[in-house]
Homo-oligomer: A and B are copies of this chain.
Amino acid sequence: MSRRGIFYGVGVGPGDPELITIKAWRIISQTEVIAFPTANGNASLARKIAGPFIPDDTIELPVVLPMSSEREAACKAYDLACPAIASHLEQGRDVTFLCEGDPFFYGSFMYLFARLARSHETVIVPGVTSLTACAAAIGRPLAARNDVLKIVPAPLSRKRLRAEINSGESIAIIKVGRHFEKIRGVLAELGLTDKALIIEKATGDDQRISALADVAPGEQPYFSTILVYKGGEDW
């Protein structure tokens, strides 16, 4: 029987193409098929980051993935995305799926993994997350000594967000996007507005760092993370 392809889930880091790992670079340059997520016809950030490393003769496979949080629609989209990848693998071609940041740190790669890894050899290549890239960008550690670090997705309910943020020491709020005003409200209620920084497009050409209070009303910061530092700089 002929060789079947290997499915690679490759983290390409937070934005700066230089923050890709040597392993990711090698695999991207050797793989016959490069797949990447696209949403609503937008350009793919993962594809943009990996662009400099993709050889000209690579087969490119855009995969339409939902940004929707509606579960049934999302599952259907993942089901639809798999056959094109599986077909390449079954014809013996390796397929790399490009993931912003790290494949297993939130993100949608896990849904493809769940559908393909049992039937196809799969290799995960970890990457630099936007989380540590944000800390590097603002020049402040994510967590010190024996602090508990909590990573809180912004789509959670106000009530849950309030409880999680209130009880944590070092907090990173991810997936901010259209939940920004909700988060800003919760942080204000907790008296943490002046302890929060928002980092957009960390390490990208258009990186922006702002105090939470300085973001204009109505703005929706994309690809952004909010870091909340409750303690002082007691190092």
A residues with a Cβ closer than 8 A to B are 11, 13-14, 16-23, 25-26, 102-106, 110-111, 113-114, 117, 122, 124-129, 132-133, 135-136, 139-153, 155-156, 164, 167, 175, 203, 233, 235
Contacts and interface: CB of A to CB of B under 8 A. Distances in A.
Query: Lowest 8 CB-CB distances: which A-B pairs, in order?
Result: A124-B136, A18-B23, A114-B235, A104-B135, A149-B151, A102-B132, A126-B132, A146-B153
Nearest to A106: B143
B143 A151 contact: yes
Given A104-B141, A126-B135, A146-B155, 13 more contacts: A18-B22, A19-B22, A19-B126, A20-B22, A102-B132, A103-B136, A104-B136, A106-B145, A110-B144, A122-B139, A125-B136, A128-B128, A150-B150
A110 B141 contact: yes
Nearest to A27: B18
Contacts of A102: 128, 132, 135-136
A142 B105 CA distance: 6
Given A18-B22, A127-B132, A152 B148 contact: yes
Number of copies: 2
Contacts of A145: 106, 153
Nearest to A152: B148
Given A127-B132, A132-B129, A235-B110, A105 B19 contact: no
Contacts of A155: 146
24 contacts: A11-B128, A11-B132, A14-B126, A16-B23, A18-B22, A19-B22, A19-B23, A19-B125, A20-B22, A22-B22, A22-B25, A104-B136, A106-B141, A106-B143, A106-B145, A111-B235, A117-B139, A124-B135, A124-B139, A129-B132, A143-B151, A148-B152, A148-B156, A150-B151
